[in-house]
Amino acid sequence: MANVIIVGMQWGDEGKGKIVDLLCPAFDGVVRYQGGHNAGHTVKFRDRHFSLRLIPSGILHAEMACFMGNGMVIAPDAFLEELDQLAASGVQVAGRLFVSNRAHVLFPLHAALDRAREEARGSHRIGTTSRGIGPAYASKASRYGLRICDLTAPDLADHLDNLRSRAEVELAGLGAPSLAALGADTGVEQCRDWAERLAPHLCDTEQLLNAWIAGGRALLFEGAQGTLLDLDHGTYPYVTSSSSTAGGACTGTGVPPTSIDGAIGVLKAYTTRVGGGPFPAELTDARGDFLRQRGNEFGTVTGRPRRCGWLDTVVARYAQLLNGIDTVALTKLDVLDDFDEIPVCVAYRLDGKQLRDLPPDRHCLETAEPVLRTFKGWKRSTAGILEEADLPPAARDYIDFIEQELNAPVTMVSTGPRREETLLRDHPALHRLTSGHLGRVVEQR
C-alpha cells in the first residue's frame, strides 16, 4: 500500500483540498503534518458548506481516518469550533479523528503577538494570516511552548505565567496593549477545559501511524500552504513558519522517510500568492485582475484578494526538486480558457544573465524580470473534460510543456471546483500512488 505526500508546488492555494478529496477512496487515512488554522478549505459536501482549517477535509468521507500530527500548532478554540460544526451537520468523528498529544498549542496570545509584530514591520509586513502561527512556532523553537499533553501538567500555571510574561514584555516593547486589554489571556481553568474536550481525540499519533503503515494501510500526508512558503526553502522571510515541503511530513508525524512511497505535486495552471514578498511572474494589469475574478482568487481564511501571475516554471522546477514529485495534478486549467496567448515564465533575467534556478536572495527575486515563453491560447472551454483526447490541442501543448519542464507526468487535470471536473490519466505513476485503486477513484469522481 502506498503512503504518499501531497504538496502545493507554489505559494499555497493550488487546490490541494480538491485533489485530496478526490483521492480519498484510495487511502485509509489523511494526515496533516504542519501549520495550523492559517490553512483553509471551504468544502462543499452533500449540499452543505464546511469551513475546515485544522481538521483534514477527509473527515467528510465516512470511512476515512484523519490525523493531526505533532508538527502542527493547534488553536483549541478553532479546533473545537470545527468539531461543533461537524457535529451540527451529523458528521461522526468518534474513533477516526486522532490528534497528536505532542502538537503545540497555539494560544490567543500568539495571535496578539502576530498582529503586533506585523504592525511593527510597517511596509515590510509579511502579510500573515494573523492567526498566531509564527509566534506559536517561535515559542516551540524557543522551548517554552506548551504541547497539548502539557495542558494537564501539574505545573501548568508556571508554564502559562512564563509564556504570558514573555508575551507581555514583547507587546509592551512593540507599543501594543496588554494581553488583558486585548482579551488574549488564558488561565488554567480554560486549559483544563480544552484538555477535557480534546481528550477523546488525543493519542501518540506516531505510534498509531506507524502501526497503521505496518498493518498495510495507505496514508495520504497532506501538506498545508505551499513549497515556496516553507520556512527553510521558501521566499524567506515572506514564508510561513513551518516545513510545508515533503520533508516536513516525516518530522511532523514521526513516520520515517523509508515508509514514504512517493509524492504528488499540485500545481495551479497559473500562479497566485497572498501577502507580501517577491513574485517575479506577477501581473499587475488587467490580465491579473481577470485571473483573480475568473479564478475566484480570494483567500479562504482572510478573504484577501490574491496576487495573480503567469505560471512560473522556475518555481515549479524548484518544487519538483525539493519534493521529489512523482506526478503532478494540474489545477484550474479552465481559468486560462479565454486567453489568446498564455505566457509562461521559464527563467529570470538578472543583471544581464538568465537564471533557471530560484535564487535565495530576496533582493534578486524582487528585481528579477521574467523570461517569458508564449503559448497559443485554446479559446475553448475545457470545463469538465474527462478524456485526454477531448483536450484542445493547444491545451495539450501547454501540459506537454509542463511535463517536459518538470520531468514528471501530469496525471490529473482539474477544470472546475467539483470532483467530477477532473481528468484522470490511466498512467502507471497514478496507479502506483493509488495502490492500484485508481478504479475506485474514477468511480467516485
Catalytic residues: 13, 41
Name the minimum Å distance from CB 40 to ligand IMP.
Answer: 6
Among 3, 34, 57, 128, binds ligand IMP (CB under 6 A): 128
Q: Which range of residues in 98-106, 120-128, 282-290, 350-358 is near ligand IMP by CB under 6 A? A: 120-128
Residue with cell 506585523: 118
Rounded Cα gap, residues 138 and 143, in angstroms:
8
The verdict on 219 binding ligand IMP (CB under 6 A) reads no
Q: Which range of residues in 83-91, 121-129, 195-203, 280-288 is near ligand IMP by CB under 6 A? A: 121-129
Q: Give residues 3-22 in contact with ligand IMP (rule: CB under 6 A).
A: 12-13
**What angle (nearest 5°) sits at the alpha carbon of residue 136, between those of residues 134 and 141?**
90
Rounded Cα gap, residues 419 and 421, in angstroms:
5
Rounded Cα gap, residues 297 and 260, in angstroms:
32
Among 229, 333, 410, 412, binds ligand IMP (CB under 6 A): 229
Query: In terms of C-beta distances under 8 Å and separation of at least 24 residues, what long-range contacts does 293-301 make, across chains too?
Result: 294/335, 294/338, 295/270, 295/332, 295/335, 297/13, 297/272, 299/13, 299/40, 299/129, 299/274, 300/13, 300/40, 300/41, 300/42, 300/51, 301/37, 301/38, 301/39, 301/40, 301/53, 301/129, 301/131
Rounded Cα gap, residues 442 and 12, in angstroms:
26
Residues in CB range of 142: below 8 A, 6 or more apart: none
The verdict on 437 binding ligand IMP (CB under 6 A) reads no
Q: Which range of residues in 34-42, 116-124, 209-217, 377-385 is near ligand IMP by CB under 6 A? A: 34-42
Among 240, 245, 323, 422, binds ligand IMP (CB under 6 A): 240
Name the minimum Å distance from CB 13 to ligand IMP.
Answer: 5
The verdict on 313 binding ligand IMP (CB under 6 A) reads no
The verdict on 275 binding ligand IMP (CB under 6 A) reads yes
Name the minimum Å distance from CB 34 to ligand IMP.
Answer: 10
Please identify, using beta-carbon distances, which residue of 15 and 409 lies nearer to ligand IMP.
15
Query: What does the CA dihedral 45, 223, 306, 54 come to, rounded to 10 degrees?
Result: 50
Among 127, 324, 377, 392, binds ligand IMP (CB under 6 A): 127
| 212: Cα separation from own chain's centroid | 24
Positions in the binding site for ligand IMP (CB under 6 A) = 12-13, 38-40, 126-129, 131, 133-134, 224-225, 229, 238, 240-241, 274-275
